[in-house]
Amino acid sequence: MATVKWPHFFHFSAPHSVVNTPAHRPDTRRSKSYGRSCVEPPSLFWQTPGHLTTLGHRIPTSRRAAKSHNITTKVDPEQVALLIKNEWKLSHVTPLYRFRHTQLKLYSKHLAAFIIAEKQQGVAVEVGVEAGFKVTFSAVLGIAETKEDAETVFIQVHSKPLFSADTPKAVWRGWLTCVNGDPEYLRSLPPDFVSLPLFCSSGPEYLTALVKSWFERTFDCSFGSLYLNSTMLNWLAALWTGCHPTSNIRYLKLAWNMPSQPPLDIAYTVNPQDAWELWNSIHTEDSTDDRINIEEVQLFMNGLEIHFFRHFKIYLSAGTLTKVSTALGSAHHDGKIKIGSSDYITTLLTLLTECALMKTPV
Amino acid sequence: MMANISDLSRVALDSSRDSSGSGSSSRSLRVAESMKKKGETNPFRSALSSLSQVREGTTVKGNDELERNLVVVETIAFGQGLPPEAVSLLLDLALSLRSGTCSRVLKFLIPASVVPQEAIVRGVSWLCVGKMPVNAQVLFLRWVLTVFDLIDCKDHLRAIYGFIFSFVTEENLCPFICHLLYLLTMREHVQPYRVRKLLDVQAKMGRQPYLMQLLALYKVFRPELVSFSVPTRMRTGFKNHNSTWKAALTAVQRKNRAEVMADHSLTVEVKEKPTSRKRKLHHLDVPALSSAFDTNSERKVFRLQELQSFTELIQNIHNIELPAQMGSLLGSSLALHYLDCVQDESAFLRLNFWLGHSLQEEFLLCPADGSLSSLAEASQFLSIILSSQQFLQESFFSTESFLYKFLTVWDGSLLRTHFLDLLSHVPLMPSHYIKVLVFEPLMQLYFTSAVFFKCSVMECLNNMLVKWLTWHSVNALEDGLDISLNSNGTVTMTLSGFMDTIIELVRFVGRLAAEGLRLENCHVLLLSQTLTFYETVCDMFVKYGLPLVIMPPAGVFYPALLATDSLTVDRLGYIMYRYRENLTLAKKQEQQSEQTFHISRNTYQEFNQHLVAMVSCLWNSKSFLPGTGFEIDECLLTQTKVPEYGSRFDLVHHPAFFKYAIEFHQKFWPRRKRVDLASIKVGKYWNWYVEFLFSQGFDGLNDFIQVNTGHSSSSVLCQSLTLFICLSGQCHIED
């Protein structure tokens, strides 16, 4: 007969029972989850029991309307200017382990050495000797909104020409940021981690790959491409249109890709005033806390699509929204953005931070 | 003998050291020497001692005495190896160039056991003198590399690291010096000026593999000093320089040593990176072990890359440094041992971030840029996770949360075995979660997939149940009702919560099995998998101490009872036997204690019903009759026009045993032309037939009948039912 294990909670004595567990078990096997369970908060995976989306994240159904915000009062205008110039390719990043904002100088040296070493496979490079590339890390203070947000980090790679008469030229730029990240989640991370979930890069692909690879090796994090789904693009279209009275959006351009044979790309440009009037007819502004609901956004997009159908008899909803752009910025569904105006940068980055955090695996 | 030799050699050593000193002392030694020599004549020792007295400038040619002595020592060396003292002595002789026989001596320098490190230190000092010809220098270094593992202790050698390092600039010696340094280097040896020197050498000599290896090691120790990327097509490692001595050395070693040199079965596997250039993303590669750069750490740490054996792991377990990327631990079995001892929450979070990210990118987000890894890579990756989880006997929570997401989008065929295996590792969770997260998506897949998938699901759920039960019997807290789900005790589950989950699982499988068997016409494989599951279920109380007995639903029980293959019926017999054992024990416990028991009256009733049905069908030839548990309307039965339908499923006529009945009939009545199976059921023939069946290996049936009749298998037929009623009565005492 098999040995019977006899825990006490059966509420009866077992005179002939075989094995009694020792009175003080020294150590129960711990679970690798260490108090974290993927079905309990703070895991982003599980939000409300019974409502599980594919990736299982809470998607907000309402947002605060975009408000103009002169960011240059908080942030160094020179740094802001750097963010605005380029088109950025987006990635999401898992939290960085032992990243310290106080060590940025050291990181500059290491990344430079790493890039050079990777370029000349097999030849070792002494850290700290500048040859060919120069890297600068800098903190962009003031972009973070809440005290849970880590400060944004900006990275530039300069190539140093062989003949040093020329000044170094910036060949690659990138930054890591977190704006209005889910506070519950951010608080749940152990202090060793810094969450900067959104990574924007601009420059040659191989340098992006090298920088990512260096971060992965140094801070034990992982990068993945961030794509913007049509819900996100819809949000942006509505949020930007709502800004028109305070700051001229000049145009609302939308692009669709239709699944026809041959594929059809549709560019749809809306007069800013018309767009705003449509939005104004849908969105009711209550003065206290101006929030926008997802239903309003849907109505707004439907309005635009119906208008298009009236003229061209094409259901845009059958296709994929690929791009939204106004003078305030543009966003492409393959994860490329441009920031047109610094005044609305917070709204945009909040949205993108949320997108990136949703991709956090655990 | 050994002691004598060592005495002698020490004397010899002393004398050679003194050779430049006062002549008188060496003479007196020599006298003592010859005195000894007279006492015991050992050609080896005398040869050795005279070799030790060879003075500088001795000619080799025509020196018969020298030649003779060399031959004597050489023979011994190749035969049984040289004792440590002889090694020192001869090495000194060779490198001092006193006799011009340097390379010859070096070539037969086969140590029997160990090489004293002082000999090597002296050797290096001869190297520093700078009189040795290049080929002798190379030969010496090659010899050192060959016997490196036999050097008794290396601390003095490490102390002269700087001297050895100075030779890297010598072009001819560089490969050997790099190798030697590679073997000797400790963290404190890696200094900026040495890094700079090596970089200079590299600039001069190009990308030599030996330099790269040494630099790579420097990077391991001080990643903040040197940055280095190993090209994908680099020739790995150092060349073997042991060709001169290898054969002789292994022969001598084999002869002299009983124990094996080193157990390399548990070494860190340095993973060969697949050199596919196509892929842009490497999210399915387990990263290589590398150290984090932490500039302020001067603490003595042991890096996982240095780890060679399990012994080393045990000795250094208190100061092992975690690698820069936690994911790299999954690539090495030794590192997994260490992972099991890690107590650091951040470390696990890092591992889970990486793992979760890799799985998500590969299987959920599926990058649109065509960088998806191949199926082979994906399956290899999942295998690594699986084997790691099996090793740790625990699942990673990132795999778990990935699985819950993935189940809803899985087609049920992509890497099926891997994913089902992973699913069976899912840890316990409250019953309402398991329902939503696992059962609902799994049910959809189950009912829309082929019978083989259904079988795999059954197998997976059985493994899941076994794991949970085992886990419960190990982890149940002694004095509380709660079961701790982790070390902190922050997540606990009550016993009743645990039971709810188990009940939920067993019921769920019951539903799947019953419906599945109906859909698949009682497919024999599916039936078999289902019975495997119930083999676990029926023993939950006796085997795992869980006071829970759940009977199989009718949709499982009857297909098994009426199955056409004998194995199935036999297994059902075993299952019913185990149920009875469990219930009997439960009953006993209940009567001995004051408390009411968890097992409800319904369970007993269900069991009795199944039992009565099984006995009346197999034993009493009364299937389908009223009061037998499964009753079929008589009109219907007569309509089938099957004669004597009541006995169609007894042990003789049951389709599963029909073949045996015929065989039995032929054996007993070989002359009978007409087969009359009914005659088996008469008197002693029945008992013999039952014996015959048991002899065919139907142990389950044997147990079932024995325990239920209370007698040996040859008991009288009609006793059985009375005893069942007895059991039923006993069971009905409930409340």
Q: Tell me: the pLDDT tens digits for B278-292?
A: 343 455 777 777 776
Distance, in Å, from the CA atom of A142 to the CA atom of A156, rounded to the nearest integer, reads 19
Distance, in Å, from the CA atom of B276 to the CA atom of A76, rounded to the nearest integer, reads 45
Task: Collect all residues with Cβ–Cβ distance below 8 Å to B139 and sequence separation of at least 6.
Answer: B102, B103, B106, B107, B244
- Best mean pLDDT range from A5-14, A91-100, B632-641: A91-100
Q: Residue B267's pLDDT is what?
A: 33
Q: Residue A31's pLDDT is what?
A: 44
Q: Residue B560's pLDDT is what?
A: 95
CA torsion B710→B711→B712→B713, rounded to 10°? -80
Pairing between strand B302-303 and B320-321? parallel
Percent of the residues in chain A that have a pLDDT greater than 70, as a whole number: 80
- A12 interfacial to chain B (CB closer than 8 Å): yes
Amino acid at A208: T
Contacts of B587 in chain A (CB under 8 A): none
Contacts of B354 in chain A (CB under 8 A): 94, 220, 222
Residue of B nearest to A29 (CA): B487
What pLDDT, in 10s, does the model give residues A227-281?
999 999 999 999 999 999 888 999 999 999 999 889 899 999 999 999 999 999 9
Distance, in Å, from the CA atom of B542 to the CA atom of B531, rounded to the nearest integer, reads 18
C-beta of residue A226 within 8 angstroms of C-beta of residue A197: no
Contacts of A192 in chain B (CB under 8 A): 346
Same domain, A99 and A216: yes
In a 13 Å sphere around the CA of B262, the CA atoms on its Cβ side amount to: 10
What's the pLDDT band for B237 if we cut at 50, 70, 90? low
Pairing between strand A320-326 and B482-484? unpaired
Contacts of A116 in chain B (CB under 8 A): 227
Distance, in Å, from the CA atom of B293 to the CA atom of B323, rounded to the nearest integer, reads 10
Q: Which range has the worst mean pLDDT, A268-277, A323-332, A344-353, B474-483?
A: B474-483
Q: What value does the mean pLDDT take over residues A54-68?
A: 68
pLDDT at B487 over 90: no
Q: Which range has the worst mean pLDDT, A11-25, B213-227, B324-338?
A: A11-25
- Calculate the CA B578 to chain-centre distance: 32
Q: Residue B32's pLDDT is what?
A: 52
Q: Residue B332's pLDDT is what?
A: 82
What's the pLDDT band for B299 if we cut at 50, 70, 90? low
ipTM, 2 dp: 0.85
Same domain, A177 and A211: yes
Q: Nearest by CB to A122, which of B234, B365, B396?
A: B234
Same domain, A259 and A274: yes
* Whether B408 and A13 lie within 8 Å, measured CB to CB: no
What's the pLDDT band for A306 if we cut at 50, 70, 90? very high
User: Does A190 fall in a domain?
Assistant: yes
Same domain, A117 and A159: yes
* Whether B397 and A32 lie within 8 Å, measured CB to CB: yes
Q: Which of B692, B637, B691 has the alpha carbon at shortest distance from B662? A: B692
Distance between terminal CA atoms of chain B? 86
Which one is predicted more confidently, B185 or B366?
B185
Q: Residue B685's pLDDT is what?
A: 87
pLDDT at A29 over 60: no
Same domain, A300 and A271: yes
What's the pLDDT band for B213 if we cut at 50, 70, 90? confident
User: Does A181 fall in a domain?
Assistant: yes
- A51 interfacial to chain B (CB closer than 8 Å): no
Q: Residue B146's pLDDT is what?
A: 87
What pLDDT, in 10s, does the model give residues B575-617?
999 999 998 888 888 777 755 556 778 888 889 889 888 888 8
Q: Residue A58's pLDDT is what?
A: 60
User: Does A19 fall in a domain?
Assistant: no
- A222 interfacial to chain B (CB closer than 8 Å): yes
User: Does A352 fall in a domain?
Assistant: no
pLDDT at B7 over 70: no
pLDDT at B258 over 60: no
Same domain, A281 and A247: yes
Distance, in Å, from the CA atom of B481 to the CA atom of B502, rounded to the nearest integer, reads 16
Q: Which of A191, A225, A259 is a domain's end point?
A: A225
**3-class secondary-structure state, position B179:** helix
Q: Residue B235's pLDDT is what?
A: 56
- Calculate the CA B614 to chain-centre distance: 44
Q: Which range has the worst mean pLDDT, A52-56, A189-193, B450-454, B458-462?
A: A52-56
Distance, in Å, from the CA atom of B437 to the CA atom of B439, rounded to the nearest integer, reads 6
H-run or E-run covering A56: none
Distance, in Å, from the CA atom of B55 to the CA atom of A290, rounded to the nearest integer, reads 102
Domain with A87, as residue range(s), is 67-225
Q: Which range has the worst mean pLDDT, A102-116, B155-169, B366-380, B515-529?
A: B366-380
User: Does A11 fall in a domain?
Assistant: no
Task: Collect all residues with Cβ–Cβ distance below 8 Å to A31 and sequence separation of at least 6.
Answer: B394, B397, B427, B485, B486, B487, B491
* Whether A38 and B404 lie within 8 Å, measured CB to CB: yes
Q: Nearest by CB to A362, which of B327, B398, B539?
A: B398
H-run or E-run covering A242: helix A230-242
In a 13 Å sphere around the CA of B694, the CA atoms on its Cβ side amount to: 17
Q: Residue A37's pLDDT is what?
A: 55
Which one is predicted more confidently, A238 or B334?
A238
Overall residue count recorded for chain B in this entry: 735
The pTM assigned to this predicted structure is 0.76
User: Does A18 fall in a domain?
Assistant: no
Same domain, A193 and A159: yes
In a 13 Å sphere around the CA of A27, the CA atoms on its Cβ side amount to: 5
Same domain, A211 and A110: yes
User: Does A185 fall in a domain?
Assistant: yes
Tell me phi and psi for residue A361, to 5 degrees. Answer: -70, -35
Query: Which residues, numbered 260 to 319 in chain A, qualify as contacts with chain B under a Cβ-Cβ cut-off of 8 Å?
Result: none
Q: Which of B165, B288, B290, B175 has the alpha carbon at shortest distance from B237? A: B175
Q: Which of A225, A252, A267 is a domain's end point?
A: A225
Distance, in Å, from the CA atom of B706 to the CA atom of B702, rounded to the nearest integer, reads 6
Which one is predicted more confidently, B627 or B509?
B509
Closest Cα of chain B to A141: distance in Å?
25
Q: What value does the mean pLDDT take over residues B103-117?
A: 86
Which one is predicted more confidently, A21 or B207?
B207
Same domain, A170 and A239: no
CA-based R_g, chain A, Å: 26
Q: Residue A125's pLDDT is what?
A: 74
Average pLDDT value for chain B: 79
pLDDT at A45 over 50: no
Distance, in Å, from the CA atom of A253 to the CA atom of A243, rounded to the nearest integer, reads 15
Q: Residue B27's pLDDT is what?
A: 52
**Do you find a cis peptide bond into A262, omega within 30 degrees of 0?**
yes
Measured from the Cβ of residue A53, the count of other Cβ atoms closer than 10 Å reads 12
What pLDDT, in 10s, does the model give residues B661-705?
999 999 888 888 888 888 888 888 888 898 899 999 999 999 998
Distances in Å between the Cα of A182 and the Cα atoms of A50, A186, A189, A196, A239 are 21, 6, 11, 12, 20
Same domain, A88 and A214: yes
Q: Which of A225, A245, A264 is a domain's end point?
A: A225
Closest Cα of chain B to A6: distance in Å?
6
What's the pLDDT band for A208 if we cut at 50, 70, 90? very high
Same domain, A290 and A152: no
**Interface test mutation site (partner A, options B357, B535, B546, max chain A beta carbons within 10 A):** B357
Measured from the Cβ of residue B327, the count of other Cβ atoms closer than 10 Å reads 25
Q: How many domains does chain A have?
A: 2
Residue of A nearest to B217 (CA): A124
- A190 interfacial to chain B (CB closer than 8 Å): yes
User: Does A356 fall in a domain?
Assistant: no
Q: Residue A98's pLDDT is what?
A: 92
Same domain, A219 and A242: no
